[in-house]
Every structure is written in C-alpha cells, then in structure tokens.
Amino acid sequence: MSEPKDGVDSVRPLQWQDGALRVLDQRKLPDQVVYEEFAGASGVAEAIASMRVRGAPAIGIAAAYGVVLAARDRYAANPDAWKDDIAEDFGILAASRPTAVNLFWALDRMREAIASIAGDPTPALLAVARAIHEDDIRANRRMGELGAELLAGSTGLLTHCNTGSLATGGYGTALGVIRTAWAMERPAVFAGETRPWLQGARLTVWELEQDGIPATLIADSAAAWLMKAGKVQWVLVGADRIAANGDTANKIGTYSLAVNARHHGVKFMVVAPTSTIDWKTPSGDSIEIEQRSKTELLGSHFLREGSVIDAWNPVFDVTPAGLIDAIVTEAGVVRNPSQGGMQALRR
C-alpha cells in the first residue's frame, strides 16, 4: 500500500495483513485507536453497516477486500460452483449501506474481474482490491493539487463531516485538498461537528491533530455566523454520490452549508473521485437517502416505552448542482456543474 506521506498524512484505516482486513474502528475514535481483523465477507459487511468503517471511498475499498475474502472461502468450499455461491456475499455486502455509490462501483469492478478468473481466485482478486485501494490514494493526491489551486490566496476554509484518510484509502478528498492547501499557504481550517454522529468533532479534528494541522471546531449551527464574520472563503465537502447533472449527496448538513455559502458569497467545492459519480442517476431526486436509527438522536429518556417523541434521522442530503462552484475529481475540475459540464469527466 502507498506509504503515508511525511508530515501531512499518517493515518491508514484499512490494511490488508496476513490474509485478513484490518479495520480501524472509527466508532472508538478519538479515545481509542483500535484495529479489528475481519477474515470473512459478512464481517466486513457488518463493519460497514455499523460504521466501524465509513466514508464513501473507504466503504468501496473495504467491500472490495470483502469480495476477496468471500472468494477465498467459497472456492475452498466448492471450487466448481464458487462463482454462483459468491452471489450471496455480493448481496450481503451491497445491503450494508445504500447511499455511497462507491460501494456498488467497487462490487461491479470485482464482479467483472471474477468473470475472467479460472482456478484459485484469491491472488487475482486481491490484486484488483489492492489496485482499487492504491488508485484511490493516487486520485486523492491529484485532487489535492487541483483543488488547492482553486484555493490560492484563501485565508479560511470550512469543511464538514470527515473526508480525510479515515474516509478513503488515505489522504482524503476534501480534507486532502485542505492538507495540500495547508502545506502551501497555511489557511485557517474550521471543521463542523457533524451531528449526530460527530464525524467532524471525533474524526476530522483527530486526524488533523495526528498530522499537526491546526483546526478550529465549530458547532454545525455556527457555520452561517462564521461565514458572516468573513472567516472563510471556501466550504469544502466530499460526496457519497454525484448524479450525472452534478447534484451531490453528502452528509446531512451539506445542503444547509451550500445555501448559507451562496447567501454570504462564500465558494462551495465538492471533492470526490470519479468512482463517486453515478452516471446512471440523472439527478439528485433519485438518490436513496439512508435513514439511521432514532437512537442516534434521542437520549434514553425519550427512548422509553410509551414516549410520544420520535426522531427523523436522514444521514445524507442532496445539494443541487446550482449551489456548487466546483466539483474537483482526479480527472479534472468542473466549474458551475451541469449535465453538460459533467460529461467532460466521462471516460
């Protein structure tokens, strides 16, 4: 695996070691740094569903390694019918989370690879999973360069959720751009808490601390006031799925940031690899938005039997392309994205 870059990139959440996938348990951060080992596909699916591993690219990479584990087990159990038997594992992995398209993209790539394999599938599939992992890190570094060019002269940046090494193979998407920009011009970095799961407050600031990048945490509800105070010129976010017209699904709260940014004349950048673009989805209207348990919002007082208080917990929202100033991918930058402009990224 591509080695962490000195100084600004030291975290690797997914590691293939001794025939198993090691996953940094993101539920335990920042208090504990604990890696768990998974040796089967259902364990990997559970690690994704329970958010031990999270973030669109990281979910896709984990699923690819999950297919390697599934193929190894299925081939050992039944070398003649493993290609049929593994369909069940694909189903379990695909059902782990609905919104991030990288999951389905990675599964498709593994499915294509399986079609041409004869004999023991493990070495060939492991090579594909490793390539997906490596390519992601390479794409992130390229997006870092492209995105940082747009930020030249900025003195303050705001980001949402966690889009860093923890959410990817390494380096990060929006946080990768921030790493690159910080190495060049030392802008002030602001991170929103990202309620209710606190990806910003628990993961982003932890990750930045690991790499010695100073950051200021804000309550999500302080973002408009931060913009009003003139402290940021850009908001940078990642994406879980970008529709063919540039509409972007990302962590809940992203849409509010985009609306606020437009009101205050602050620029809005989405940073995502092309594996996050879903060309089959014409607009954000048809993106499935994951709803998670009300226990993520309600305390035990309201969870008791007989309480009349419920909770609504969509964990993603869709930002219309019209509120986005630039989509940065490893294949290039689309400014003021629209159906037509997005086509330049199609290969």
Burial 74-111 (b: 16+ CB within 10 A, else e): bbeeeeeebbebbeebbebbeebbbbbbbbbbbbebbe
Q: Closest CB to ligand MRU among 13 and 121?
A: 13
Q: How far is the CB of 80 from ligand MRU (least distance, A)?
A: 38
Q: Are 319 and 174 in contact (CB under 8 A)?
A: no
Q: Closest CB to ligand MRU among 114 and 161?
A: 161
Q: How far is the CB of 161 from ligand MRU (least distance, A)?
A: 4
Tokens of 122: 């493990």
Q: How many CB atoms lie within 10 A of CB 272?
A: 30
Q: Are 65 and 72 in contact (CB under 8 A)?
A: no
301 burial level (CB within 10 Å; 0-12, 13-18, 19+): exposed
Which amino acids are annotated catalytic?
240
**DSSP summary character for residue 112:** H
Bridge partners for 250 per DSSP:
317
Separation CA 109–CA 170 (nearest Å): 20
Separation CA 81–CA 134 (nearest Å): 31
321 burial level (CB within 10 Å; 0-12, 13-18, 19+): buried
Residue with tokens 């990675």: 106
Q: How far is the CB of 129 from ligand MRU (least distance, A)?
A: 18
Amino acid at 208: L
Q: How far is the CB of 329 from ligand MRU (least distance, A)?
A: 12
Q: Closest CB to ligand MRU among 122 and 313?
A: 313
DSSP SS3 for 7: coil
Q: How far is the CB of 86 from ligand MRU (least distance, A)?
A: 25
Q: Closest CB to ligand MRU among 55 and 121?
A: 55
Q: How far is the CB of 30 from ligand MRU (least distance, A)?
A: 15
Interface residues toward ligand MRU, by CB under 6 A: 54-57, 100, 161, 163, 167-168, 173, 199, 238-240, 250-251, 315
Tokens of 272: 């995502």
